[in-house]
Structure 1
Amino acid sequence: MNWRSAAVDGLVDALGPTLPAAAFIAAIAADDGGYAVRLSDGCPLDGRFEIGSMTKTLTGTVLASLVDDGIVALDDEVGRWLDAGRNSGITLGRLATHTSGLPRLSPGHTTGAADPYAFLTAEVAERELRLTTRGPGGVEWDYSNFGFQVLSLALERATGMPFGSLLERRVLRPLGMTCSGVAGRGRGSRVQGHAQGSPVRPWTHHLGGAGGVEAAAEDLARYLSACLTPPDSAVGAAIRLAQRPHHRIDPLRSAGLGWALGPPGYLGHDGGTSGFRAMLGIRRPAGRAAGVFVNDRAARGLPPAVRRVLDRD
């Protein structure tokens, strides 16, 4: 058995017994020989999992693609496109590296709400951006969902295209990811999310760049493979730019454009929504990458499970 097959089997076998009976698991792995996918019993082949904040790596790649084409620059200020008031000077690069000084959540966010992002339309986000008092942007790293929501809105305004269309044109279509996209875009069947075995409703994302993407396992395997070994193409160049260290957080960690880099040799991102958990990791020196997706937000242990298969001899 090759490493890819052993990795996906290991992820499903390790996490499966810890989950409620209604939960599905999708495991993916890639190396220089290709990729492998394993779905738990009953999971549809075209089932779309919500990937939560893993979306940020896709948003970073969209931004990088637009930078490569000269449409925007990392040091462009959001005030070019948004009525941001005192925060007009925040740059796209600062938003994409969590160094804008914006808070983790928008000021009007209600923690624990059944649909916590439904209120955050473009109009509301601009108003909240004008009213936000931010920290020392450009100096400290401070993870911000709100920052990536603002980023996706700024990219929409800069291009005159909805974020879902940008994502499809710049990343999904070039990689053959046909069963993926923001809600309502792309083929595939939506997997039901759960919380401790009970069905839950999906969150509403008007600004999808922070966590609004759904994707099928086969598509995610294609994405994983491209992130491990970026192709010699426009989307490959964008992936390479997104994965570069753009801000040093500490001696062991850096921020890419939407990517978490470090400890040295590793990069990746996790994600969570109302009814899903997700984790993607890459161990660059070993030429390995793996990911796992579960349709129950109570799932635990995804990051260490991925790390174990990446480090397996």
Structure 2
Amino acid sequence: MGTTRMRRVVRQVAVAALATTLLTGVAESHADAGPDRADLRKALQETIDSGFTGIQMRVRDQQGEWVGAAGARELGKAEQPPKDGKFRAGSATKAFVAVMVLRLVAEGKVGLDAAAADYLPDLGMDRRITVRMLLQHTSGIFNTTGEYFPGGRYEPGIPWEGKAWVDNRFHTYAPEELARMALSKPPRFAPGTDWNYSNTNYVLARLLIEKVTGSSYVDELQRRILGPLGLRDTVAPEASPEIAEPHAHAYYKYEDAGQWQTIDVSRQNPSWVSQGGDMISTTEDLSNFFAALLGGKLLPAPLLAEMIKPHSTPDPAMGYGLGLEVRDSGCVGTVVAADGGVQGYGTLLRGTLDGGKIMAASLTFVDADVAHAPVQAEQQAWQRLPREAFCGGQ
């Protein structure tokens, strides 16, 4: 998801002074793999200096493949993040889900502009909502984590921030439970008339995949994407709170009885976000996935074109297609993005249209309540790192 939309799931980088106080010292970046890229090494270190805890990044382009890392694997310790570490990829998950649905479209099992209710008849969905609308966030369906309506009215959803989420972070939600809760709430707008980022759309896409195929989402993911591409370090954890080693740690700062607490939230039950952003992956796996997708190995050309075509309602400048965002790099033309984040983890995944240049990065930080976390460091990192990777700092 983009910089502004990421704050619906990731609540900005915490105060830089907190990270500086808790770290025993920020070391120089890892001895990098691949060609020497002083520009990228500098960008990583400056990202850490701005208040992030750790970062790992992989860039593939005409110079070869470069892999680097900087910062700390854990607060208060000097060990650096693993360059091949696993991380919670957040909304980068949506690109995988969209590909799976579009493969069903290619097989003639799903109609992209058919009513989603045709495949999920038991949920009482508005028949004006199409499969395309789910994938491009134009359905108007309420977001499971809550919605702000015009005029400032807020309709709460499930807990996803503050002490309420911390106390609830190992609770299990069934996908159908999330879907029914969201569908019981008022829609944000009439289907197809506007755009609003809603994780519910991808919970419904997951249920559609299972209904149409007759098998589990996890099995279909393995059969259709992970197995064929050899993505051995990517998993859909469902309700498991575990994240395999090696991995960098993520943190969350919240208020409890008037006192601010910082806890490690690397372990959490991601079923609250479901296929809106539950995936665990690595920079290598995400890079391989993007190379295959943009290289035409996962979808027929017409459907790949649909995936990267921004919606037209009401403002195509938003740049969201079907599970992907499309942006102007400023130097190499159009780039495709599948960013994401969950508490304390941020993901950047970018590639040129031909897959010739790809960047994948994972950042870890002390996530915090929006009132206590400046947005500047987040905004700078989400702009700076792709610029360095694709434009060499231009």
Report deviation, 1:302. 3.0
Contact 2:337-2:351 at 8 Å conserved across structures: yes
SS of aligned partner of 1:62: helix
Unaligned runs of 5+ in 2: 1-32, 71-78, 147-156, 254-261, 368-376
Which string of whole-angstrom CA distances, capped at 9 and with x for unpartnered residues, describes residues 218-239 of structure 1? 2122223334x414x3457598
Q: Distance in 2 between matches of 1:55 and 1:297?
A: 22
Report deviation, 1:9. 2.9
Report sequence identity in percent.
22
Picking from 281, 297, 317, the partner of 1:252 is: 317
SS of aligned partner of 1:27: strand
- The answer to whether residue 81 in structure 2 is matched with residue 81 in structure 1 is no
- The answer to whether residue 48 in structure 2 is matched with residue 16 in structure 1 is yes
SS of aligned partner of 1:180: coil
Picking from 41, 52, 55, the partner of 1:25 is: 55
SS of aligned partner of 2:109: coil
Q: Distance in 1 between matches of 2:43 and 2:302?
A: 29
- The answer to whether residue 243 in structure 2 is matched with residue 243 in structure 1 is no
Picking from 215, 226, 244, the partner of 1:172 is: 226
Structure of higher CA gyration radius: 2
Q: Distance in 2 between matches of 1:126 and 1:82?
A: 13
- The answer to whether residue 347 in structure 2 is matched with residue 278 in structure 1 is yes
Report deviation, 1:56. 1.0
SS of aligned partner of 2:137: coil
SS of aligned partner of 1:167: helix
1:265 is matched with: 334
Task: Name the amino acid aligned to 1:303.
Answer: W
CA distance change for structure 1 residues 188 and 17 in 2, over 3 Å: closer, same or farther? same
Contact 1:4-1:35 at 8 Å conserved across structures: no
Alignment of 1:78-227 (within 5 A): 78-79=116-117, 80-105=119-144, 108-112=157-161, 113-114=165-166, 115=168, 118=171, 120-134=173-187, 135-183=189-237, 189=245, 191=247, 192-195=249-252, 198-200=263-265, 201-205=267-271, 208-227=274-293
Contact 1:12-1:25 at 8 Å conserved across structures: yes
Task: Name the amino acid aligned to 2:325.
Answer: A
CA distance change for structure 1 residues 86 and 240 in 2, over 3 Å: closer, same or farther? closer
- The answer to whether residue 76 in structure 2 is matched with residue 39 in structure 1 is no
Task: Name the amino acid aligned to 2:312.
Answer: R
CA distance change for structure 1 residues 240 and 5 in 2, over 3 Å: closer, same or farther? farther
SS of aligned partner of 1:110: coil
Q: Distance in 2 between matches of 1:280 and 1:109?
A: 28
1:65 is matched with: 103
Which string of whole-angstrom CA distances, capped at 9 and with x for unpartnered residues, describes residues 244-300 of structure 1? 315225353432211112347132132111221111223448943323202325472
CA distance change for structure 1 residues 36 and 69 in 2, over 3 Å: closer, same or farther? farther
Q: Distance in 1 between matches of 2:138 and 2:67?
A: 35
Task: Name the amino acid aligned to 1:30.
Answer: R
**How many residue pairs are counted as aligned between the two chains?**
309
- The answer to whether residue 361 in structure 2 is matched with residue 292 in structure 1 is yes
Q: Distance in 2 between matches of 1:4 and 1:214?
A: 29
SS of aligned partner of 1:266: strand
Which string of whole-angstrom CA distances, capped at 9 and with x for unpartnered residues, describes residues 77-101 of structure 1? 2323242225354222110000001
Contact 1:97-1:257 at 8 Å conserved across structures: yes
Q: Distance in 1 between matches of 2:301 and 2:122?
A: 31
Which string of whole-angstrom CA distances, capped at 9 and with x for unpartnered residues, describes residues 58-95 of structure 1? 11111112211222221232323242225354222110
TM-score between the two structures when normalised by the length of structure 2: 0.67
Q: Distance in 2 between matches of 1:253 and 1:52?
A: 20
Report deviation, 1:144. 0.8
SS of aligned partner of 2:271: coil
Range with greater deviation from structure 2 (183-192 or 146-155): 183-192
Q: Distance in 2 between matches of 1:4 and 1:52?
A: 30
Contact 1:224-1:290 at 8 Å conserved across structures: no
Contact 1:174-1:235 at 8 Å conserved across structures: no
Cα RMSD over matched residues?
Answer: 3.4
Q: Distance in 2 between matches of 1:117 and 1:96?
A: 28
Contact 2:252-2:264 at 8 Å conserved across structures: yes
TM-score between the two structures when normalised by the length of structure 1: 0.83
